[in-house]
Amino acid sequence: MKWNARFWRVGGGVFLSGLLALATPTRSPVPGTLNYLEGQATVNGTLVNSSSIGNEVLQPGEVLGTQNGKVEMLLTPGVFLRLGENSEARMVSNGLANVEIALDRGQATVEADWWTKDNRLTIDQTGARTDILKKGLYVVNSGQPFAQVLDGKAKVTLDDQSVNVGKNHEAILNESGKLKAQDFNSKPVKETALLRWSSLRSGYEAQANLDAARTVVVNNGWYGPGWYWGPSFGYWSFLPADGFFYNPFGWGFYSPFYVYGGGPYVIGRPGFYGRGFYGSRGGAVFVGPRGGGFVGSARGFSGGGGFHGGGRR
């Protein structure tokens, strides 16, 4: 299925259904910051709305819940957690170097677009624990299968058993009680409502990335890689330190320096998750590589000096 193309066809209607307040948040983002809301969601049983976007931060012990809705939450810079319908996620630790979330009910996706050796991200599940080890795209469930890796690598632990789970593999407990990694058919997983919505959100984040990058160039507000406010979209997006990269959904994310240089840039690319849509400043068009993975510019993609702890706007 051409996920990127679907984003453009239905984009306007979906965006309006989750209309956000465009006011600048009063605080910089930290792990646990709500970045997008569609439908009904609560924090500790209290309904949240569009005014919570960019301002509401899930603190340790607090529970983010959904009914007929979905929520996007920022974790470490460049990492998004998206909670599906009828799900609950409890914040255990929201330290920048150690994020731990308990998925008490339902399902979530983790899109890790930027990763450093200092990242620590743990998802607690019913009797199990999933540690994200690399940038990539993950589906995590409160029960089995505990983790499905569409791209990247994770480690799943259950009591005294542990298993590494690579791309296109999932972690399950077999009939004999042994934890194992096995391959799975990713096609029906990509067709689920949560994965389709996550792809759609990722596409909007890519557009907000260009918006934020241009704003940084104009306002001279660059402070290193991290979360930056996209004023035209009303939520945070990630800006890398240098060059550009493609995320697991196939969307391009660009640094302010690359945008300042005039591009060319790619909104989406052929390959991994569908057909690319392109744009540039000055008429040039760059068609990205036809395969998975992350790429940089001629100078390469550099993470810079560790995490950028705060967002800028």
Interval 128-139: pLDDT, tens: 999 999 999 999
For residues 277 and 203, what is the distance between their CA atoms, to the nearest angstrom? 11
Higher pLDDT, 112 or 308: 112
Q: Which two tokens stand for residue 220?
A: 């001279």
**Per-residue pLDDT at 268:** 54
DSSP state of 287: P
List phi, psi (to 5°) of 110. -120, 120
Type and span of the H or E element at 73: strand 63-74
Burial 84-105 (b: 16+ CB within 10 A, else e): bbebbbbbeebebeebbbbbeb
For residues 194 and 86, what is the distance between their CA atoms, to the nearest angstrom? 11
Supply the pTM of this predicted model.
Answer: 0.80
**Per-residue pLDDT at 51:** 84
CB atoms within 10 A of CB 213: 26
**Per-residue pLDDT at 300:** 28
The yes-or-no verdict on residue 44 having pLDDT over 50 is: yes
Interval 210-256: pLDDT, tens: 889 888 877 767 888 999 988 899 999 999 988 889 999 999 999 98
Residues in the chain, overall count: 313
**Per-residue pLDDT at 265:** 56
Higher pLDDT, 164 or 312: 164
Least confident of 52-56, 123-127, 202-206: 52-56
Interval 270-283: pLDDT, tens: 434 443 333 333 33
Please report which confidence band the pLDDT of residue 23 belongs to, taking 50, 70 and 90 as the band edges: low
Least confident of 43-47, 53-57, 145-149, 270-274: 270-274
Residue type, position 47, single letter = L
The torsion defined by the Cα of 116, 120, 125 and 127, in degrees rounded to 10, comes to: 120
Residue type, position 309, single letter = G
Query: Which residues share a beta bridge with 121?
Result: 99, 132
Q: By the 8 A CB rule, do 288 and 15 touch?
A: no
Q: What is the mean pLDDT of residues 19-41?
A: 79
Give the chain's domains with CATH numbers: 29-185 (2.60.120.1440)
Interval 53-92: pLDDT, tens: 888 999 999 999 999 999 999 999 999 999 999 999 999 9
DSSP readout, 167-182? TTEEEEE-TTS-EEEE
127 Cβ contact list (under 8 Å, min separation 6): 158, 159
Q: Answer whether the bond into residue 264 is a cis peptide, omega within 30°.
A: yes
For residues 166 and 99, what is the distance between their CA atoms, to the nearest angstrom? 21
**Per-residue pLDDT at 306:** 30
**Per-residue pLDDT at 270:** 40
**Per-residue pLDDT at 80:** 98
Q: What is the mean pLDDT of residues 173-197?
A: 94
Q: What is the mean pLDDT of residues 158-185?
A: 95
Q: What's the chain's average pLDDT? A: 80
264 Cβ contact list (under 8 Å, min separation 6): 278, 279, 280, 281, 282, 284, 285, 286
Half-sphere exposure of 33 (CA within 13 A, CB side): 28
Q: By the 8 A CB rule, do 130 and 156 touch?
A: yes
The yes-or-no verdict on residue 154 having pLDDT over 90 is: yes
